[in-house]
A and B are shown apart, each in its own frame.
Chain A
Amino acid sequence: MTKSTKTILWVFFLIVALVQLFPLIWLIDFSFLSSNEFYSSSVLKWPSDPQWQNYINAWVDGKFLRYFINSAFVTSVTILLTVILSLTLGYAFTRMQWKLRPIFFTIILLGIMIPIHATLLPNFAIFKALGLTNSYLGLILPYTAVSVPLGTFILTGFMRSIPKAMEESAVVDGANIYRIVFQIIAPLTAPALVTVIVTTFLNCWNEFIMASTFLSKDALKTLPFSVMNFAGQYSSDYGSQFAVMVLTSIPAIVIYAIFNEQITKGVTAGAVKG
Chain B
Amino acid sequence: MVMNSKSTRNILLVTALAAVSVLSACGGGNDKNNNAGSSTNGGTAGSADKEVTLRLFSNLPDRKSGQGLAEQMVIDNYIKANPNVKIDIETLAEEPFKNKLKAYMASNESLDVTMVHGGAELNTLVQAGYVKELNPAEYEGDTYKFLPGVYKSFTFNDKLYGLPRNSDYEVIYYNKKLFDDNGIKIPTTYAELLEAGKQFRAKGIEPMSMNGKDLWSFAAFFQDLVVRLTGDQNLMLDAVAKKKNFTGDENFLAAAKLLAEARDTKLFQESFMTADYGASQNLFTQGRAAMWYMGSWEAGMATNDKLPEDFRNNVNVLKFPVVDGGKGKNTDLLAWNGGGYSLVSSSKHPEEAKKFFDYMMSADQWAKIVWDTGAAVPAQKYELSGKESELQKQLTEVLTGATSTAGSIALDSGTPKFKDDAQNAFGKFFAGGSTPEQLLADLQKAAETQ
Contact = CB atoms under 8 A, between A and B. Distances in A.
B300 to A, nearest CB: 10
The 9 closest A-B pairs by CB, nearest first: A135-B27, A176-B5, A231-B93, A137-B27, A39-B282, A232-B62, A39-B279, A216-B90, A212-B96
Interface stretch (A19-27, A30-38, A252-260, A264-272): A30-38
Given A35-B306, A134-B34, A176-B5, 8 more contacts: A36-B285, A36-B307, A41-B288, A120-B103, A136-B23, A212-B99, A217-B30, A234-B295
Contact of B23 (A41, A137, A230): A137
Contacts of B5: 176-178
A208 B19 CA distance: 25
Contacts of A185: none
A259 to B, nearest CB: 24
Contact of A34 (B19, B61, B275, B306): B306
A207 to B, nearest CB: 12
Interface in A120-179: 120-121, 124-125, 128, 131-132, 134-138, 140, 174, 176-179
A235 B281 contact: yes
Contacts of A34: 306
Contact of A137 (B9, B26, B94, B306): B26
B278 A38 contact: yes
A208 B93 CA distance: 12
Contact of B27 (A120, A136, A216): A136
B31 interface: yes
A132 B23 CA distance: 11
A174 B306 contact: no
A233 B96 contact: no
A128 B107 contact: yes
SS of B interface (majority) = helix
B277 A135 contact: no
A109 interface: no
Contacts of B109: 128
Interface stretch (B63-71, B173-181, B432-440): B63-71
**Interface extent on B, as a size class?**
35 or more
Nearest to A212: B96
A99 to B, nearest CB: 24
Given A77-B23, A135-B31, A234 B282 contact: no
A213 interface: yes
A230 B61 contact: yes
Contact of A125 (B63, B107, B306): B107
Interface in B10-52: 12, 19, 23-24, 26-28, 30-31, 34
A216 B63 CA distance: 16
Nearest to A135: B27
A235 B278 CA distance: 6
B297 A124 contact: no
A136 to B, nearest CB: 5
Interface of A: 34-41, 61, 77, 80, 120-121, 124-125, 128, 131-132, 134-138, 140, 174, 176-179, 208-209, 212-213, 216-217, 219-220, 228-238
Interface in B248-299: 275, 277-279, 281-283, 285-286, 288, 295, 297-298
Contacts of B385: none
Contacts of A208: 96
A39 B283 contact: yes
A208 B95 CA distance: 12
17 contacts: A61-B63, A120-B103, A121-B103, A125-B106, A128-B107, A135-B27, A140-B23, A176-B4, A176-B8, A209-B99, A213-B100, A219-B30, A228-B61, A230-B62, A231-B61, A232-B61, A235-B278
Contact of A229 (B9, B61, B282, B297): B61
A38 B288 CA distance: 13
Interface string B383-407: 0000000000000000000000000
Nearest to A220: B30
Contacts of A38: 278-279, 282
A1 to B, nearest CB: 43
A228 B92 contact: yes
Contacts of A216: 90
Contact of A237 (B19, B59, B65, B91): B65
A34 B92 CA distance: 23
Contacts of B92: 212, 228
Nearest to A234: B277
Contacts of A36: 282, 285-286, 306-308
Contacts of B275: 39
A137 B283 contact: no
Contacts of A138: 27
Contact of A213 (B66, B99, B286, B306): B99
B60 interface: yes
Contacts of A217: 30
